[in-house]
Structure 1
């Protein structure tokens, strides 16, 4: 009897899997970011535009007074070379959506029920559920580095929402001093542009604590040549830039000795 029940269960699962069609996309291979950092880009902006310079107003999020003060304090620490980046603690994920703006390679694994974003840099895996589930109820959610993402496909376009993210104090969006609160919601649309062949991520960041309005940003990716390999590595390997207890990024020689000194020492 147990065998019959097991076979029935297996057939049921197989039927469910067959009922889900693969999205009509081919995002296979290795990719790399062709735009870096976060800056305001409306969804109707020309795809492939170069990023604005560091002092461009589009790089300044529409912050509330509280978070504008945090941002300005970050700017001061950046100028002093003391801006803390949690990723300097090896093994810490960069979090969402900063994971879209890291160096090295990416892979996008598409399945009917789920899409994964895998990065060569560090322990970063983003899971996007497209099997019809919703976010868990509030009493079952807790904030994490990549949060909880659910979405759906509209033809060759993936749309998803991410909630339950770590906020300021645990993660940063960029080393330019951009941070958000743990109430951040990110709504993302992904498609491959047929003209440029770029994979385009259009995101809208909404944060009732940090932002005065939704903040639209865009990140694009282009493919590496066919056959490009992805290689894992750990940031602790041959790390020549540890951070000391005061937040100063040190430089070590080949023998592990510090060859620079923090300001004021």
Structure 2
């Protein structure tokens, strides 16, 4: 009987998944993003320098298994601490985040994404604390998340983005990409903006991104991500996301939960007699 995965790889205080010279590497990556005014310009530069963007069936990298995003889901940048996002927010977006932090410090935290039916969306999906799975083919790659049954499709068959006259904003946006060897390079646009998650920033519909994905060893998939948003951010927001392969027993493979239900993590909130709220009583019936 296969097992359903539900594990958290939260870092201890002072622990880091990055190399010792990470601060200098991170600054180099930040500077790399600053060379371009838009994510699309960055993406096209990467595409123009690629020597072979076609992935043949016998070249598909092995990303099989279930992975857990390293770090607490309370932060998008693993280097951050909760309530202290490193994004260079501006205008009303800086104000909205400051208001969230003030409310959280006063003990008032809300997170409608933890309820039923509301997906996290992109880019908040990247930091989800529940297992992730990747389905890689020559023509598209699916990034699947257990939480909220989220699925993001990245098309690598050479198609362009949806034409402007047909495009509209969605939770995960429109993602295209190409392969350079074992590395997947993507561009995403046309998200519906909105909230990244609990005590995290809001972004606008102008948000776009570049990602560089690669499996760096037998256990870890790494994604370098640059978020651009002319409405919400002063400068691109760079992060490195790492997904670690979950161990599993031979012959007893892990699998994602078949269907995300808010009853499973006990996210049903009910009113109490005194007018307050609490979670529904937990039982196994």
TM-score (norm: length of structure 1): 0.74
Following superposition, the deviation at residue 234 of structure 1 comes to 2.9
Residues 53, 180 of structure 1: alpha-carbon distance in 2 compared, 3 angstrom cutoff: same
Count of aligned positions: 219
1:30: which partner in 2?
66
Q: Do the aligned residues in 2 keep the contact of 1:242 with 1:251 (CA within 8 Å)? A: yes
Following superposition, the deviation at residue 60 of structure 1 comes to 2.4
1:37-69 CA-partner distances (Å, limit 9, x unpaired): 212xxxxxxxxxx7443366xx32101132111
**Match for residue 212 of structure 1 among 234, 242, 251:** 234
Following superposition, the deviation at residue 101 of structure 1 comes to 1.3
Any residues of structure 2 matched to 1:86-235 within 5 Å, and which? Answer: 86-168=112-194, 172-194=195-217, 197-226=219-248, 227-235=253-261
1:262: which partner in 2?
none
Residues 231, 157 of structure 1: alpha-carbon distance in 2 compared, 3 angstrom cutoff: same
Task: Tell me how large the CA RMSD over aligned residues is.
Answer: 2.5
Tell me, which stretches of 5 or more residues in structure 1 are unaligned? 1-18, 40-49, 256-265
Highest CA radius of gyration, 1 or 2? 1
Aligned partners of 1:190, 1:81: CA distance in 2, in Å? Answer: 37
Aligned partners of 1:55, 1:74: CA distance in 2, in Å? Answer: 8
Residues 243, 139 of structure 1: alpha-carbon distance in 2 compared, 3 angstrom cutoff: farther
Aligned partners of 2:129, 2:69: CA distance in 1, in Å? Answer: 7
Aligned partners of 1:62, 1:20: CA distance in 2, in Å? Answer: 36
Larger strand percent: 2
Aligned partners of 1:215, 1:127: CA distance in 2, in Å? Answer: 22
Tell me, which stretches of 5 or more residues in structure 2 are unaligned? 1-53
Aligned partners of 2:96, 2:185: CA distance in 1, in Å? Answer: 31
Aligned partners of 2:221, 2:263: CA distance in 1, in Å? Answer: 31
Aligned partners of 1:249, 1:204: CA distance in 2, in Å? Answer: 39
> In structure 1, the residue corresponding to 2:278 is in which secondary structure?
coil
Aligned partners of 1:79, 1:241: CA distance in 2, in Å? Answer: 22
Following superposition, the deviation at residue 232 of structure 1 comes to 2.4
Aligned partners of 1:224, 1:161: CA distance in 2, in Å? Answer: 28
Structure 1 runs of 4+ aligned residues shifted over 4 Å read none
1:159-206 CA-partner distances (Å, limit 9, x unpaired): 0011111122xxx21313222111100111100113x74100110000
